Chain A
Amino acid sequence: MMMPLAYYVGLSAIMFVLGIIGVLVRRNALVVFMSLELMFNAANLLFVAFSAYFQLLTGQIFVFFVMTVAAAEVAVGLALMVEIFRTKHSIDLDQMSEMKG
């Protein structure tokens, strides 16, 4: 039984929108970060679904790259958060207000 393409695209669109909402609404940097990952993985799902549909490998290879890039971003992001937690003892984005103007 083949799943129709529209279902994948629909699921990925839902994931993407949830990710955007998460980034805009949540105030904990870690949760925001998870929402970002959700956006990336929504795109990954899109690539895999389309490359299966078109019988092309391009999309799947792209997913490899996206995963690697996401890992690099995780490394940098987590390091930044640990560092900022050490100085401020909080990663609440509402408290990130040293600069105004």
Chain B
Amino acid sequence: MASQFFPILVILALALFVGFFVVVLGTIFGPRRPTARKSSPYESGMVPYGPGTRRMSVRYYLVGVLFILFDIEVVFVLPWAVVFRELGMPGLVLMIVFLVVLEVAFVYAWKKGALEWE
């Protein structure tokens, strides 16, 4: 069984070897003449300003969390959509019930002002 995975091992070893080899060659033989511009994080890009970790508005988390909740429900809708002809009427009714429950949550979030950005 293990022999089946031998090619994967070869590729892995090869990839590691090539990666190391190139970097090692570059460090040993490459000329090094640093200038201020060259050692900036983005040599030919914009000059970065401000601290790297900016504070984000807490609103962002709220929207993100709501997105996760409503997004994950697709997990149930998608399989239903694939076979909804076979499920027929009962399937449709059940899906409507499911969506109504979701809508209640949505209306609640809306009325509580969770969707207002400002």
Q: What chain B residues lie within 8 Å of A64 (beta carbons)?
A: 75-76, 79
Q: Which residues of chain B are near A68, meaning CB under 8 Å?
A: 72-73, 75-76
Q: Is the CB of A75 within 8 A of B65?
A: yes
- How many residues from B make CB contacts under 8 Å with A? 15
B61 to chain A: closest residue by CB: A82
Query: In the complex, are the beta carbons of B72 and A82 less than 8 A apart?
Result: no
B69 close to A (CB within 8 Å): yes
- A72 CB contacts on chain B under 8 angstroms: 69
Contact with A along B68-80 (1 / 0, CB 8 A): 1101110110010
How far apart sit A86 and B58, CA to CA, in the bound complex (Å)? 10
Query: Could you say which residues of chain B place their CB within 8 Å of the CB of A79?
Result: 61, 65
Residues of B that sit less than 8 Å from A by CB: 1, 4, 58, 61, 64-66, 68-69, 71-73, 75-76, 79
Cβ contacts A to B, 12 pairs, < 8 Å: A64-B79, A68-B72, A68-B76, A71-B69, A71-B71, A71-B72, A72-B69, A74-B65, A75-B65, A75-B69, A79-B65, A82-B58
- Chain A interface residues toward B at CB < 8 A: 1, 4, 64, 67-68, 71-72, 74-75, 78-79, 82, 86
